[in-house]
A and B are shown apart, each in its own frame.
Chain A
Amino acid sequence: MTAAVLSLRGITKVYGEGDARLEVLKGIDAEVKTGEYVAIMGPSGSGKSTLLNILGCLDRPTKGTYELEGEDVSRLSDNRLSAIRGERLGFIFQSFNLIPQLTVLENVEVPLLYDPGRRHDRSVRCREVLDSVGLGHRLKHRPPQLSGGERQRVAIARALVRDPVLLLADEPTGNLDSKTGEDVLQFMEQLHADGRTILMITHDAAVAKRAGRVIRLQDGRVVAPA
């Protein structure tokens, strides 16, 4: 029996008050176990992004509990949440979100800058991770000089650099053509095979199918629990 990396119980998210009150998430229960590759799928407006923000510790639920590795993180301070994002989560965004002024190596270094315990072997660690995504030869390039697929691999390297317990991918292939998108998906399967826990958000059923399990979301509710 493998432990749950995350478990959601009755997650509700409400924006606004009174007439403007909008309930985006209406009680989500879900669990992801270590080493799982899960896709959360739903049409736009289903609450995917809101759920991702909560899962990514960028936002707090209005109600319900979110346990990450058994620790309830749904009521933590901004400061603690920042630390959790840095230490335990790795983000892969649809639009890559690399910092254009920084080189590839520097972009991958960013999460380590906020790790007080890691000062000496930063550059070594970054090269190692960049090698593993096949970009060891592009350290001094800047993001605008890279192709879309390469940029996403830099972003993946950046997500992996602090060795997170959970990778959160938000439409990782959304901005890529089908061929490079396929490369990225294959790479994520490789990561899954290496034992990474991945949670991917997508609206694309074909992409979702690549994951080991799909959680369908509609109108803020899980409609087909796996």
Chain B
Amino acid sequence: MIGAGFELVQLGLRNLTGYPLRTLLTIIGVVFGVSSVMAMIAVGAGAEQELLKEFGRLGIENIIVNSVKSTETRPDSSNNTWGYKRYGITFLDEALIRTTVPGLREVLPVAKRTLPAWSGSRKVEVSLTAVQARHLDLFRLRPARGRALCAADGATLSRVCMIREGLLTELGIFRDPLGSMLRVGNTAYEIVGVLPQERLVGYAQKALAVDAKRIEVYIPYETFANRIGTAQITQREGSFEAEDVQVSQLIVAVRDAEDVIDISHMINRVMEYNHKVKDYEVVVPLEHLAQRQKTQSIFNDVLFLQAAISLIVGGIGIANIMLASVTERTKEIGIRRALGAKRRHILAQFLVETVIVATLGGLVGVGAGYGLIAIVEWRTGWTTVVTPASIALAVSISVAVGILSGIFPARRAARLDPIAALRHE
């Protein structure tokens, strides 16, 4: 090759700076392509990360069974005058799932009830959520202050609770809440832990049947079952209404994530057997995740393809400009050939020029890509993730585009007949 590669680059730069406007326009073509490739990868990766975060809270090895107040639920005929409604998951369901379905790690019942919480004269409707101590570990509900509920709390039927940070503000409690009493419904609970204010959103919220408007107060499941009970009587316009939901929610943790789908079918079968009307739902986060990931990956592919097309257009721009440049510099090529340049010297010279343009475009494109990503984030609020790998990919694609789009013009230059080239004016 001509001396060292460094000289080729120097020569290339010299030729490129000889036509600054043309070079600039060519580079811009690549910049658009590279920055959009980078931005699209970042948007795709961001969406993927959001998805995993959303499902990470649910745990892909979990199956959630929720009690649902079905529209078909009829008041129990024997207690017609009372309006006694009984629906949802029963203790029998729980016991059957526990004893007949194989491959389970644990089955955790949850009881939920909407009740007023009092602090002095202030009242806030909360979602009283009774859970076993293991439930808190499973969903990584770790207190920011104080302690978590433990198995002993349940065993001794303690009236203790763990609240969300946000409840303190809503109730106007500004002193240290640990050790103080919180009245929820008719029972007073000692606050032992405060959870950070954190809301489940999107699918996770729906799957866990979390009440979006009400803040949760966690109490031991055993305390709820033994001191409060599952039946609830409410007075409405002079008449009483009773509702009995034995288990609001069952969290079924599967030992092996591979079995999740099969086990969910078995649970469905057990539930179908016991329930004439569908007053429950079986939620399988893994299934939903797979579906969402599939949709997301199609979306990502389309985005990437679009960005890649703009990069290809940039490459065609380079090829076009280089062809014009070859024609314009035919005489120079003839002179160099007469002075001893071999075909490969000419080939290398033009190829290096296109690679310089593409590389510069790639580097500037990475900068522009950051800008584009910032704009996308600002306008849409999407999460974006820029990884070093995506930068490397964008730059190497642009270099590859440079080489590919440079080969044709460079070959044409190298194959020029030196005599004709010399005669060219």
Contact = CB atoms under 8 A, between A and B. Distances in A.
Interface of A: 53, 56, 58-59, 78-79, 82-83, 85-87, 91, 93, 97-99, 101-102, 110-111, 113-116, 119, 158, 162
A90 to B, nearest CB: 9
Interface of B: 2-4, 7, 11, 14-15, 18, 331-332, 334-343, 345, 418-419, 422
A15 B337 CA distance: 22
Contacts of A162: 340
Contacts of A101: 14-15, 18
B18 A85 contact: no
Contacts of A85: 337-340
A53 B419 contact: yes
Given A58-B337, A86-B341, A91-B338, 7 more contacts: A78-B342, A82-B341, A83-B342, A101-B15, A102-B14, A111-B339, A113-B345
The 3 closest A-B pairs by CB, nearest first: A86-B340, A114-B340, A82-B342
Nearest to B7: A113
A176 to B, nearest CB: 18
A119 B3 contact: yes
A114 B335 contact: no
B326 to A, nearest CB: 15
B332 to A, nearest CB: 5
Interface centre among B14, B18, B335 (most CB of A within 10 A): B335
A114 B343 contact: no
A111 B337 CA distance: 9
A59 B338 CA distance: 11
A68 to B, nearest CB: 14
A53 B337 CA distance: 12
B343 A79 contact: yes
A170 to B, nearest CB: 10
A56 B337 CA distance: 11
8 contacts: A82-B340, A97-B334, A101-B14, A101-B18, A102-B14, A110-B335, A114-B341, A119-B3
Nearest to B421: A58
B339 A110 contact: yes
Among A78, A82, A93, A102: residue with most chain B CB under 10 A:
A82
Contact of B339 (A53, A86, A119): A86
A145 B141 CA distance: 80
B335 A97 contact: yes
B4 A119 contact: yes
Given A53-B419, A114-B345, A82 B337 contact: yes
Contacts of B332: 99
A115 B341 CA distance: 9
B422 A97 contact: yes
Contacts of A79: 342-343
B201 to A, nearest CB: 61
A78 B340 contact: no
B340 A115 contact: yes
Given A53-B419, A58-B419, A91 B339 contact: yes
A58 B337 CA distance: 9
Contacts of A113: 2-3, 7, 11, 341, 345
A114 B18 contact: no
B15 to A, nearest CB: 7
Contacts of A97: 331, 334-335, 338, 422
B81 to A, nearest CB: 102
Nearest to A111: B339
A102 B339 CA distance: 15
Contacts of A110: 335-336, 339
Nearest to A168: B338
Contact of B340 (A83, A93, A99, A119): A83
Nearest to A53: B419
Contacts of B345: 113-114
A57 B355 CA distance: 32
Given A99-B332, A101-B14, A101-B18, A114 B339 contact: yes
Contacts of A114: 2, 336, 339-342, 345
A39 B4 CA distance: 39
Contact of A78 (B15, B334, B343): B343
A195 to B, nearest CB: 22
A82 B419 contact: no
A166 to B, nearest CB: 14
| Candidate in A86, A111, A114, A158 with the most chain B CB atoms within 10 angstroms | A114
A56 B338 contact: yes
Contacts of A93: 422
B303 to A, nearest CB: 42
A57 to B, nearest CB: 9
Nearest to A102: B14
B257 to A, nearest CB: 62
Contacts of A83: 340, 342
Nearest to A52: B419
B423 to A, nearest CB: 9
A183 B18 CA distance: 33
A59 B419 contact: yes
Nearest to B338: A91
A217 B338 CA distance: 24
A98 B11 CA distance: 16
A91 B337 CA distance: 11
Contacts of B339: 85-86, 91, 110-111, 114, 158
B34 to A, nearest CB: 29
A40 B338 CA distance: 20
Contacts of A158: 339
A115 B339 CA distance: 10
Given A82-B343, A86-B340, A114-B342, A99 B335 contact: yes
